[in-house]
Amino acid sequence: MLDDIKYIHRKDADDALGVAAKQWDQLNYDFDLSSLPKTFSPISNVVYAGMGGSALGASLSSAWPGYNRPFEIIRGYDLPSYVGPETLVICSSYSGNTEETLSCLQQAIKSKSTVMVIAGGGKLVELAKDNKLPLVVLPKISQPRYAVLANFLATVRVIEQAKLSDTKQMDKTIVATAKYLKQLQTDWLPLVPVARNKAKKLALDLLGTSPVIYSGPRLASAGYKWKISFNENAKNVAWQGVYPEFSHNEFIGWSSHPISKPYSIIDLVSDFDHPQINKRIKISAKLLSGNRPHPYTVHIKAKNVLEELLGSVLYGDFVTIYLALLNGVNPTPVELVEKMKKELK
């Protein structure tokens, strides 16, 4: 089925695979940063308001390049009480109409904090222009979850401008990572048969199961993206957990469940986590053998944190799109999300 190109084109009517295959090029996007201040008021902490894929760009940026100030992501309606004049608040929504993010933006304006907006359009852009706020406009892409790398890069540009990271040679690393991702994904493309396509193989192995994705802190944001992609692309419920916290509580939960339960385990392994993390992953697999399904290990070989992080994200997109096709669904539409928005009005 996954080697039948006609079937792929029929089910993938909105060309999710084609969109996924172009994501690497988002790292080359030249953002208009002219509205950003040349110098910033003193910043003591950073708060990023966003939901779903929009929040994910921030989550990825906390793994690379990281922040030299306290940093928090708000996935909800309200900013924390500590937000004040020395807080940088970044409000991000691809559509620009996400009600939680709009609520946070209105609170941020009242708080007299430094406020910036990252959006693709909608009310968020209108409010930014009306209030003369610094604004970074995202490129047009079919779905927010496929604009994650653009959102990530926009966030990195803000970090760079505000001097919120100590990472050197940032541009060089980003350009090299774009080239790396373009090459990395060639083995996952639709024309590559199942026999040589790891993304197709993993999708076939996961069919009929509810995946649980585990990783250490370095790949936690990639694991979160896998969870999003299973749910939105494959219409297949999935969950995520993070080591070492997993081995302090959730680890025990698996011990009482028979192996026949319809779960699958995916371990995202990093070469850049604390060495004890990978030990915990291996020991967990040994101690839970027979009580839970044997884990599938995903280990993206890379030269640095950014390549590994974004390579893991892209691999998850291909796996979950192929799983959508196996499930007989179009990966792109998220009709229930749209129905929820209408019901909330």
What pLDDT sits at residue 260?
A: 64
**Amino acid symbol at 139:** P
Pair of tokens at residue 33 = 């940063």
Phi then psi for residue 225, to 5 deg, are -65, -40
What pLDDT sits at residue 147?
A: 95
34-48, 119-133, 255-269: segment of lowest average pLDDT:
255-269
What pLDDT sits at residue 321?
A: 99
Average the pLDDT over 62-87 and give the result: 97
What single DSSP character describes residue 251? H
Q: Does residue 88 surpass a pLDDT of 80?
A: yes
Burial of 255 (0-12, 13-18, 19+ CB in 10 A): exposed
Average the pLDDT over 2-8 and give the result: 97
Beta strand spans in the chain (E) = 45-49, 71-74, 87-93, 114-119, 135-137, 210-215, 239-242, 263-268, 296-298
Average the pLDDT over 13-30 and give the result: 97
Q: Does residue 194 surpass a pLDDT of 80?
A: yes
What pLDDT sits at residue 144?
A: 87
* Sign of CA pseudo-dihedral 7, 12, 18, 24: negative
What pLDDT sits at residue 166?
A: 79
Sequence-ordered list of residues with C-beta below 8 angstroms from that of 231, at least 6 positions apart, any chain: 237, 238
Phi then psi for residue 43, to 5 deg, are -115, 120
Helices in 81-209 by DSSP H: which ranges?
A: 99-111, 122-130, 148-161, 170-184, 198-206
CA-CA distances (angstroms) from residue 162 to 42, 43, 89, 119? 10, 9, 12, 18
Strand 45-49 relative to strand 87-93, pairing: parallel
Average the pLDDT over 137-150 and give the result: 93
Enter the pTM of the model.
0.96
Average the pLDDT over 301-324 and give the result: 98
Mean pLDDT across the chain: 96
Report all structural domains of the chain as residue ranges with CATH numbers, in order of start: 5-13+186-326 (3.40.50.10490), 16-177 (3.40.50.10490)
Pair of tokens at residue 15 = 């060309």
Q: Does residue 49 surpass a pLDDT of 70?
A: yes
**Amino acid symbol at 311:** G
Average the pLDDT over 257-272 and give the result: 87
65-79, 213-227, 330-344: segment of lowest average pLDDT:
330-344
Rounded to the nearest angstrom, the gap between the alpha carbon of residue 123 and the centroid of all alpha carbons in its chain is 23
62-66, 143-147, 177-181, 196-200: segment of lowest average pLDDT:
143-147
Percent of the chain with pLDDT over 70: 98
